[in-house]
Structure 1
């Protein structure tokens, strides 16, 4: 997988939206928010920064596998983590 051959840290930022409880958006950095699809931004509402995380040092995340998050960010620029009981991600 992509993350297994990536040298060095892979930091990303996590945001939560005002409209969707327990829904989180992972992006490479704040500048990446400018390129998000308008529909995602509309559905999420105002975004609030939650944390920065180095995915290359994590073996697990609360809901998703770090490798899946990395793959989505590299492929489409973001990873959308939905609440438990919904589809696990939008990638």
Structure 2
């Protein structure tokens, strides 16, 4: 597994990922409506280049809000690794 920025992947790949796992790239949460395929974030990809995890976030001043977090394979630490990457970015 490697972690890369979402914008290093084809946008259609991110759009398809969100459509498959969420039904749409649009996320409605208490702080607003977001298009996850257009947000900053990171993807965990396997050796074949397939997305096995993804996190998106918004930084506003000193605040960092996670908008989405997906880990396709559970209990392998992919979600934790993605969260840690965003924590480092937010610092």
Considering the TM-score relative to the shorter chain, is it more than 0.5? no
TM-score, length basis structure 2: 0.31
Q: Which has the higher contact order (CA 8 A, sep 6+)?
A: 1
TM-score, length basis structure 1: 0.31
Larger % of strand: which? Answer: 2
